[in-house]
Structure 1
Amino acid sequence: MLQPEQASGYAAQFAAALLTPDGATPVAVTAPGAKAAGRRFDVYRNNVTVSLIESLIAIYPAVQRITGPDFFRAMARAHVRETPPTSPLLFDYGRDFPCFIGRYEHAEAMPFLPDVARIERAWLDAYHAADAVPLDGAALATVPPERLPGLRFAAHPAARIVRSDFAAATIFSANRSDAPVPRIDGSVPEDALITRPAFDVAVRHLPPGGAVFATLLITQHPLGAAAEAAFEAAPDFDLATNIAGLIEAGAFTDIGFEDS
């Protein structure tokens, strides 16, 4: 039986070799009868890589549709070799895949792709977020006008914001189904709000100033400060419309006050 330190070293060698396609089979890995296990280990190593690639395909279907299956598999394989999993949960794998795409030289012709992947990751995280009852818009009617600037909002666990210098939200939405993709001007900046007020995840476009406003509210900044920042970012910012839109989208669960 292996001692604890030996078992730890064996596990480290085994794990490292799994994602090194040209690496040698660890010496401690043997077949029945103490025979060499090179071929068996290679099969297992290939199955592990394929499983991780398949998990990335499941997490990023829009990205795969944009790039095509062969391109995506090559990109995913490179990511798997660079970034092995740290969690036993496959849906948790690939969180840094969007950043990897941004560094992947063969994807340079698609500068919008990392942000599409960020939206796709946020979509999955929103899907798996804890359930919570969304805020009822009628609750705002009980707040005295003089206390509105100090109002704070509790964010729904599923609420997320993704900002992009490209039309990432439109590109994402157009590639999440099998329907034909219309012509899209990808150079138009878009900010996206991802929520899941009930069972379905929704991705909405935020108007100018909306991402600044929503981000500050979601991170517990008071309404007055969030509104000030939004107006600074977009002088035409519509405060009432944006508050109503965030509540309707299910971005919040409760309200409180700065001094409470």
Structure 2
Amino acid sequence: MPRLADTQALIRAAVVDGDFAGTAAFLTGGRAPVARLRIHERHYAASLSKALLARYPALARLIGQTSFVNAAQDYVRRHPPASPCIAEYGLDFPRFLASRRWLGRTALVLALGELEWHLGRVAIAISHAALGREALATIPSGELPEIRLELQPGLAYLGAAFPVDDIIRLHLAGKPPCGCLLEPTPIWLEVHGARGEFRMVRLPAATWTFRRELQLGSRLGRAAEAGMDAKADFDPGQALLGVFADGLAVAVHCSERGI
């Protein structure tokens, strides 16, 4: 009898790769044991392909259901899950999809896939109680550049070369994307979600840069500099008030203390 690790490798080869040569000799009991194991092989491919389709429905609509499913089945053979959580599966599927030469829309597929991945992530987040701007009142003005803001967990900031937010809106309305949406149009998106809902907002490039820096954990002063690098007349003060007005700030961290 093979060792446990060897047995597991043989089962993996059968279920993931469809290679039953190593397992056939060890399957006993009942009739047609290989045929019964093939049920698990088919279920593996079908369930993960279904998970990818649920994660990237607009992408499937863009390239066509048949092409998407064929690519998904190829992907699940090459890239089995690395964790037991199916919700975490398929992060790099858009890149795999874009690598297929017949597609010809690499940048669009990557941008739309990234947006759909984040929509699924932020929609299951749980919002925290938002701070008002009065949270800044106790901080000496000289310390403001050194503070760090903690933002809502259900946030994502995406820069895209295509209007992928409009493609998503059309998909949700049950409509295919029109040709004009397949042409390059740079956008800077803020995606905010919680408890099964989400919203997508286009931001000016400087505001997007400022908020993204804050989300990444940069000091307020560094975020302000990044915003002004994006646009010379960017107003960091107004941008900071906007973060609080939109309910995005949940904590203020100043040196060793938190507010």
| Residue 249 of structure 1: how far off its partner (Å) | 4.3
- 2:64 aligned with 1:71, yes or no? no
SS in 2 for 1:175: helix
Return the alpha-carbon distance in structure 1 between the equivalents of residues 245 and 72 of structure 2.
37
In structure 2, the partner of 1:229 is 226
Q: Which amino acid aligns with 1:215?
A: R
Q: Scaled by the length of structure 1, what TM-score is found?
A: 0.84
1:107 maps onto 2:98 in alignment = no
For residue 102 of structure 1, report the CA deviation from its aligned partner.
3.1
Alignment-mate amino acid for residue 66 of structure 1? L
For residues 141 and 246 of structure 2, what CA distance do their matches in structure 1 show?
Answer: 23
Of all paired residues, the percent bearing the same amino acid is 25
2:81 is the alignment partner of 1:85: yes
**Aligned match of 1:208 in 205, 210, 213?**
205
Q: d(CA) in 2 for partners of 1:29 and 1:212?
A: 59
Offset at residue 73 of structure 1 (A) = 0.4
Task: Map residues 150-189 of structure 1 onto 2, 5 A cutoff.
Answer: 150-179=146-175, 181-182=177-178, 183-184=180-181, 186-189=183-186
Quick one: which of 124, 127, 134 aligns to 2:120? 124
Question: After superposition, what is the alpha-carbon deviation per residue over 1:174-232, rounded to whole angstroms, capped at 9, x for unaligned?
Answer: 32331454542631112222222565222222211233212211122111111111111
Deviations 1:79-110 (A, max 9, x none): 11111012222212112212222322232235
Q: Is the 8 A contact 2:122 2:194 kept in 1?
A: no
Note the residue ranges of structure 1 that are not aligned, 5 or more in a row.
Answer: none
Shift in CA distance, 249/173, structure 1 to aligned 2, threshold 3 Å: farther
Alignment length (residue pairs): 256
- Counterpart of 1:11 (choices 8, 15, 19) is 8
Q: Corresponding residue for 1:26?
A: 23
Structure 2 equivalent of residue 94 of structure 1 = 90
Give secondary structure in 2 for the equivalent of 1:195.
strand
Pairs within 5 Å for 1:235-246? 235-246=232-243
Q: Using the alignment, how far apart are the partners of 2:62 and 2:182 within structure 1?
A: 15
Corresponding residue to 1:39 among 32, 35, 47: 35
- Check conservation: 2:124, 2:195, Cα contact below 8 A: no
C-alpha displacement at 1:123, in angstroms?
1.4
SS of aligned partner of 1:153: strand
Structure 1 residues 94 and 180: CA distance shift in structure 2, 3 A: closer
Question: When the two structures are superposed, what TM-score results if normalisation uses the length of structure 2?
Answer: 0.85
Amino acid of the residue matched to residue 47 of structure 2? S
- 8 Å Cα contact 2:124-2:193 kept in structure 1: no
CA contact (8 A) 1:152 1:223 kept: yes
Q: CA RMSD in A?
A: 2.7
Contact 1:61 1:176 in 2 (8 A): no
Residues of 2 paired with 1:106 and 1:190: CA distance?
26
Q: Alpha-carbon deviation of 1:164? A: 2.2
- The answer to whether the aligner puts 1:254 opposite 2:248 as a matched pair is no
Unaligned runs of 5+ in 2: none
Give 3-state SS (helix, strand or coil) of 1:129's partner.
coil
Query: What pairs with 1:40-55 in structure 2 (closer than 5 Å)?
Result: 40-55=36-51
Contact 1:132 1:197 in 2 (8 A): no
Q: CA deviation at 1:50?
A: 0.6
Q: Distance in 1 between matches of 2:198 and 2:13?
A: 37
